[in-house]
Structure 1
C-alpha cells in the first residue's frame, strides 16, 4: 500500500495598514510608533475564521485560479486533500496540510487570498449561522513548508517567542529614550533599534 505524503505549510495572517509617519522627530515617539505598527500587523484574527472555513477558502481560490485541474490535484471537491490542522486566532497562525505534489497550488492560492471575517467592536465575530462576510483586508504569508507537522509547530513556537522578545526590546528602548534622550540629543547618541532581516521561507523535507 502506497503511503500518501503531505506537506505542512506554516502560515501567518498579517494586517498591514498604511499609516502616516509621526511628524515629531523624537526618538521616543518614533519607537512608540514602530511598536504600535508591529502590534497592528500581528493583530488577532476573528473567531469567525474557523479551520473548515479557511480550508474551504483555499479550495475555492484554487478552483478560481486553476479550475477543475487544480481541484483534481488536491483530491477533488469532497476529498480532504486540504485541511487546517491548527489555527490560532490570538496569534493569527495556521498550519495547513496538503498533498506533497500540490503544495505549490495551495501556496499560490494563499498569495491571492486577501480577506478574512471582520472583528466587531465587541471583539466577537458576530456570526449567527452561515458564513461571515470576508471584509477585513489581510495578507497570508507562508513562513515554512515542512514534511512533518512537528517541524511546523516548532517553527511557530520559535517565531512567537522571538516576536515577544522583539516587542519587549522595543518597549525598553522607548523608555530609555525618554530618560536619556534629552542628554544625548545634541551629541548624536540617539538609541536605535536593530531590526532583524526579513526571514526567508524555510523548506524542510522532514522524513520524506
Structure 2
C-alpha cells in the first residue's frame, strides 16, 4: 500500500477515535468512560487504540485540542469576514449555535472540561480558551479603531463577549431553545453586547 494512502487511513482512524471519544466523554465523563469501549465503538481492536494514544488521559487532551482547533477556526472565519462589528458579533453567536447543534458532543465535552464533570482537565481547556479570547480581542481592537466601540480593557471585554455568546447558547439549549429560536435571537444578543461595550451613539 502506498505510504500516502497508509497515512491517510491512519489519520482517518485517528479522527474517528477522537469523534467517538468526544461522544463517550460527553456522555459519561472522563472517569467513567472506558477506553476499550471507545476502541470498540471506533471499530478497532482494543489494543490498537494504544498505537494512536498512550492512555486515556492523552486521548482526552488530544481530543480537547482537536475540538479547540476546529472551533477556533470557525470563530476566526466568522470574525474575519467583512461587515460591521454588530454583523460580526452576530456571526460569532450563530457559529456557536451551529457548533452546539451540529457538533454537540464536542461542544459539551469542551464546556465540561471548563466547568463540569471533566474539570480534571480545566488547565488544558483554559489554555485553549485563551486563544478564543485573543481572537475576539482582535475583533474588538478593529472595532475600536473604526470608532464602533470604546473600551478600556480589550481582554476583559473579549471574555465578556465570549461569555455572552458561547455560554448563552449552552444555557439556552439546556432550557430547551431550538437552534432556530436561538438564530432568531442573534441580532438582539449582538445589540446587547454592543451596548455593553459602550458603543457610541450613531
TM-score by length of structure 2 reads 0.24
**Higher relative contact order (CA closer than 8 Å, sequence separation 6+):** 1
TM-score by length of structure 1 reads 0.23
More helix by share: 2
